[in-house]
A and B are shown apart, each in its own frame.
Chain A
Amino acid sequence: MNDALDLAARVASGDRRALARLLTWIESERPGAREALAALYPRTGRAHIVGVTGAPGTGKSTLVSALAAAARARGRSVGILSVDPSSPFTGGALLGDRIRMMDHIADRGVFMRSMASRGSVGGLAVATGDAIRALDAAGCDLVFVETVGAGQAEIDIARAAQTVIVVEAPGLGDEIQAFKAGILEIADVFVINKADREGAERAANALKAMLDLGNTMKQRRVGRGADLSAATLDASGHHAPGGTGAHAAVASGEWRPPILKTVAAEKRGIEAVLEALEAHRTHLVESGEIVLRERERAADDVQRSLGRALIRRALEAAGPARVEALIDAVAARRIDPRAAVDALLDARLDAGQEGE
């Protein structure tokens, strides 16, 4: 058995050291990572993948920490991936999410890994999808993925996760600012954290109002295919009154994201969030949407992997000197960027033919 398959076998048996090492291989794009992940892939698909996103300071890490503790109390094993930004200038990163997670560190049922975004935008690292699969294969029942937290355009998490929690907190700006376009649409569960602060009720109400408006959109999710049309609207265009609790899925069978209040630092309101996560997972399974999402996720994975593979192959086939020369030519306006791409792709094809 080679190193990669040996590592995969150890990850599958629940070896924490092996899992940690596989995550390093994934992040550094070691060739063995691909082989190990391929061996582990059939074991994946069991974990409930929960994304947690929201602006900095809303308490994402503290919430994840409290949710992990509550899930552990129910006997579930937990994996946590926390993504923090890398400096675009030095490539370095300060990963501080563990500060709020150290409660669980003695508990072998929780595995947490800090990931630097390493130049990726969209709230996750390039390697996050594979890292999720590694934790899934290692037997985690629940995997929490905490995004960078720019609060905007973090749509990658909607693809990577089955259930997305959007965390807000009162007092971080006016409510409209907090619920910018893009962040509303990806939420399956809203959490107003720090709900003991002034303005929590106002934030919840503003959110509820925006959600009612948002429901009139023909399609709530870009590319997910789920038609969340205005099935619950009455003729006047007003939303039928509904609860804001964990059981707020509307009668038509569509999921209406509940708005839940927590004080994560005091572990208040956490059980209701955990129940909403379970309810959403049940909804996905019973409605069949989980199959659609899984297919979307697979399509996205294949497309991204294809893109990376093609770029790598094209650059390797052309060689650094040729690449630099083409870049110089584009910069000097001798050729246009598309011509440079054509030249690189031709080089790749030529090299491919020589190899066969």
Chain B
Amino acid sequence: MTQQPKIRVLIAKPGLDGHDRGAKVVARALRDSGMEVIYTGLRQTPEMIVEAALQEDVDAIGLSILSNAHMALFPRVVELLGAEGRRDILLFAGGIFPDEDVPEIKKLGFRGVFGPGSDTREIADFIRAEIAARG
């Protein structure tokens, strides 16, 4: 009767753009694949995102951004997670990123970068595989 370990994912939108359709589609798709998804809404600061991730004790954080501010906001999220000793949380990103930024984002520690047209099943499979690999 022990509960199956549930994968908990935080989906957040840092920065100022108001385009949350992609984030909502991903949140719903992950829910439909059996995950518990905490959706925090628009215009989150890195501090808010990291505090939410900490309190909710999530396994993964997905950041959606369309304002091109990713190279300012993503490193800050990574830094704050480090300060809280939670660099173990899986990070992935969704949105529109210039090709040359993708290696940079991955170098920050984002294991997955999903652009427009990504298959939501692919994102769910990616999370599951990454979490399984971490034990």
Query: B35 contacts which chain A residues (CB < 8 A)?
Result: 92
Contact yes or no, A106 B51, CB < 8 A: yes
Query: A118 contacts which chain B residues (CB < 8 A)?
Result: 3, 6
Determine whether B118 belongs to the interface, using a CB cutoff of 8 Å to chain A: no
Contact yes or no, A112 B3, CB < 8 A: no
* Count of residues in A whose CB is under 8 Å from the partner chain: 33
Determine whether B1 belongs to the interface, using a CB cutoff of 8 Å to chain A: yes
Q: How far is the CA of A116 from the CA of B126 in the complex (A)?
A: 23
* Residue picked from B33, B37, B38, most chain A C-beta under 10 Å: B38
- Report the number of A-B residue pairs with Cβ-Cβ less than 8 Å: 92
Contact yes or no, B51 A105, CB < 8 A: yes
Query: B101 contacts which chain A residues (CB < 8 A)?
Result: none
* Residue picked from B1, B28, B55, B86, most chain A C-beta under 10 Å: B55
Asked, given contacts A90-B34, A118-B3, whether A20 binds B41 with beta carbons under 8 Å apart, the answer is: no
Interface string of A100-127 (1 = CB under 8 A from B): 0010011000011110101000000000
Contact yes or no, B6 A91, CB < 8 A: yes
Closest Cβ of chain B: how far from A78's Cβ, in Å? 12
B1-20 residues at the A interface, CB under 8 angstroms: 1-6, 8
Contact yes or no, A94 B6, CB < 8 A: no
Determine whether B52 belongs to the interface, using a CB cutoff of 8 Å to chain A: yes
Contact yes or no, A94 B57, CB < 8 A: no
Contact yes or no, A315 B39, CB < 8 A: no
Contact yes or no, A116 B27, CB < 8 A: no
Stretch among A22-30, A36-44, A246-254 lining the B interface: A22-30
Closest Cβ of chain A: how far from B92's Cβ, in Å? 17
Closest Cβ of chain B: how far from A327's Cβ, in Å? 15
Contact yes or no, A20 B56, CB < 8 A: yes
Closest Cβ of chain B: how far from A111's Cβ, in Å? 6
Main secondary structure, interface of B, reads mixed
Contact yes or no, A92 B37, CB < 8 A: yes
Who on chain A is nearest to B51 by CB?
Answer: A105
Query: B51 contacts which chain A residues (CB < 8 A)?
Result: 105-106
Q: How far is the CA of A161 from the CA of B34 in the complex (A)?
A: 30
Contact yes or no, A94 B31, CB < 8 A: yes
Contact yes or no, A93 B54, CB < 8 A: no
Closest Cβ of chain A: how far from B123's Cβ, in Å? 14
Closest Cβ of chain A: how far from B95's Cβ, in Å? 19
Q: How far is the CA of A28 from the CA of B8 in the complex (A)?
A: 11
Q: How far is the CA of A311 from the CA of B2 in the complex (A)?
A: 11
Query: A23 contacts which chain B residues (CB < 8 A)?
Result: 57
Determine whether B119 belongs to the interface, using a CB cutoff of 8 Å to chain A: no
Closest Cβ of chain B: how far from A316's Cβ, in Å? 8
* Residue picked from B37, B52, B57, most chain A C-beta under 10 Å: B57
Closest Cβ of chain B: how far from A345's Cβ, in Å? 16
Q: How far is the CA of A118 from the CA of B86 in the complex (A)?
A: 26
Asked, given contacts A87-B31, A90-B32, A91-B34, whether A99 binds B41 with beta carbons under 8 Å apart, the answer is: yes
Q: Which residues of A contact B (CB under 8 A)?
A: 16-17, 20-21, 23-24, 27-29, 86-87, 90-96, 98-99, 102, 105-106, 111-114, 116, 118, 308, 311-312, 315
Q: Which residues of B contact A (CB under 8 A)?
A: 1-6, 8, 27-28, 30-41, 44, 47-48, 51-52, 54-57, 84-86
27 A-B contacts, Cβ less than 8 Å apart?
Answer: A16-B55, A17-B84, A20-B55, A23-B57, A24-B8, A24-B57, A28-B5, A29-B3, A86-B36, A91-B4, A91-B6, A91-B34, A92-B31, A92-B35, A95-B36, A95-B37, A98-B38, A98-B52, A98-B56, A102-B41, A105-B52, A106-B51, A112-B55, A114-B38, A116-B36, A118-B3, A312-B1
Those 7 A-B pairs whose CB atoms lie nearest each other, nearest first: A99-B41, A92-B31, A20-B57, A105-B48, A24-B57, A94-B31, A92-B34
Inter-chain pairs besides A29-B3, A102-B40, 11 sampled, C-beta below 8 Å: A17-B84, A24-B57, A28-B5, A90-B32, A91-B4, A93-B31, A95-B36, A98-B41, A98-B52, A105-B48, A113-B55
